[in-house]
Amino acid sequence: RLLEAMIESLDEFYSANLGEEVTRGMRESASRGFYVASYAPYGYRKVKVSDGSRERPKLEIESYQAQIVQRIFREVNEGGGLIEVVKALNREGIISPRGNSWGKTTIHKILTNETYIGTLVWGRSSVRNLPPIRVEEAWPAIVNRDTFKHVQSLLKERAFVTTHPKRVASNYLLSGLAKCGYCGKALVGQDAKGGRFHYYVCGTLLKKGAGSCSALYINSQKFENLVIDKIKEHILTYDNLKELVSMVNEEMDAGASEYQKRLKVVSVEIAGVNQRLERLYDALETGSLQLADLAPRIKRLREHQEQLHMTKLELEILLSDRKVELADTETVKNYVVDLHNMLEESTLVERKSFIKSFVKEVRVTGAEALMTYTIPMPPKQLSQETLAVPPIVHYGGRYWI
């Protein structure tokens, strides 16, 4: 009975402290530059390196996949859009990290992952609110830092921008967005005839006078109505939003499903290890086997148990990062209606804030305008602060004013 009580107490103590010990051990290993995650990122493979009497995992470059990663960074760095990269990779039959087709989310995840410049970052989603571990030059880089930095700035330029209504001061809907196609200056709102007429005027023309720029005076109401109509016809459409919702849902679903499957397998393995340990403890209690005979086996099982708990913890963190509400494509029609109503019924300040969140520029040259924009995909409850935009830039057609 004494031996049984000792074993039960030891097992209870070990189980109660296992999670904390696993986390502490993973953080210590990560701080020394070892790769503690279960799966190597695309472009790398895990290898064992000596660490005293133990072997620990590091990353080394996987040549073929690394070339794909370099290509992705190169094409985006040279101005390519994410959707163009996705289409090219899928068209060429190149397998994605999950073994299926590529998507924008996967490309964006690669482009923002500091692993590819040799930097280890671990513990961003710490359940104990511990600061993340960061180690520079932990393994060979696939992408140089200058390229990575430039790509981040490009992604930032293309990303959704939230403009607080209080910061939108002008009474002209497109102020800050409309640009002169001749000289590049902003088109400035200008009243005429005692405020009875309103125009957009090139800043150069307004400042330096006639002959300084070839830009025309643009009737503000006609111009704004044209832009709103084209936004409805070409950007805030059912097909556009349905495609985006479908693609995001598919990627998020696939990722979460894969993690769930892995977590289920790991949980089954943990249960199996626990059962094997229980049988060894039973053998000790009955005296059928001696502690000296069982100690090495118990030690190996404990180490395996600890590794499985590390893997389980990592998968749970990955799943917690993916706890998002996936939109039903049937709600897209409501999205379109809501977004159109936003353009029609909201106040000037609210409409300006909304349009600035996805329209990057309207460049006017003579009698035509070129609109650069991202496609907004709203969540279930619409607001200026929570509208989400995938990181892809589209170029609208030329519209006659």
pLDDT confidence tier of residue 124, bands split at 50, 70 and 90: low
Give the model confidence (pLDDT) of 64-89 as tens digits.
999 999 999 999 999 888 888 988 99
Q: Is the pLDDT at 61 greater than 80, yes or no?
A: yes
Return the minimum-mean-pLDDT range out of 67-71, 179-183, 214-218, 383-387: 383-387
User: What is the reported pLDDT for 327?
Assistant: 54
SS3 2: helix
Q: In what order do the strands lie in the sheet with 359-365?
A: 178-180, 359-365, 368-373, 394-400
Alpha-carbon span 275 to 254, nearest angstrom: 32
CA dihedral 49, 51, 55, 56 (to 10 degrees): -70
Residues shown for the chain: 401
353 phi and psi, to 5 degrees? -60, -45
Alpha-carbon span 106 to 252, nearest angstrom: 10
Which of residues 357 and 375 earns the better pLDDT score? Answer: 357
Alpha-carbon span 311 to 322, nearest angstrom: 17
Please name the fold of domain 27-158.
Hect, E3 ligase catalytic domain fold (3.90.1750)
Kindly state the average pLDDT of the residues 277-303: 80
Residue partners of 375: CB distance under 8 A and separation at least 6: 235, 240, 241, 244, 358, 389, 390, 392, 394
Residue partners of 35: CB distance under 8 A and separation at least 6: 46, 57, 58, 59, 120, 138, 139
Alpha-carbon span 219 to 207, nearest angstrom: 19
pLDDT confidence tier of residue 319, bands split at 50, 70 and 90: low
Q: Is the pLDDT at 231 greater than 80, yes or no?
A: yes
Q: Is the pLDDT at 202 greater than 60, yes or no?
A: yes
Give the model confidence (pLDDT) of 244-265 as tens digits.
666 666 666 666 667 778 888 8
pLDDT confidence tier of residue 190, bands split at 50, 70 and 90: confident
Residue 60 forms beta bridges with which residues? 45
Alpha-carbon span 339 to 107, nearest angstrom: 28
SS3 310: helix
Kindly state the average pLDDT of the residues 185-191: 89
Q: Is the pLDDT at 383 greater than 50, yes or no?
A: no
| Residue 207 CA: distances (Å) to CA of 93, 175, 202, 213, 219 | 55, 17, 9, 10, 19
Q: Is the pLDDT at 292 greater than 80, yes or no?
A: no
Maximum Cα–Cα distance across the chain: 105
pLDDT more than 70, % of the chain: 74
User: What is the reported pLDDT for 174?
Assistant: 92
Specify the pTM.
0.45
User: What is the reported pLDDT for 67?
Assistant: 94
pLDDT confidence tier of residue 387, bands split at 50, 70 and 90: very low
Across the chain, mean pLDDT equals 76
SS3 317: helix
SS3 6: helix
Domain boundaries, the chain: 27-158, 165-239+329-400
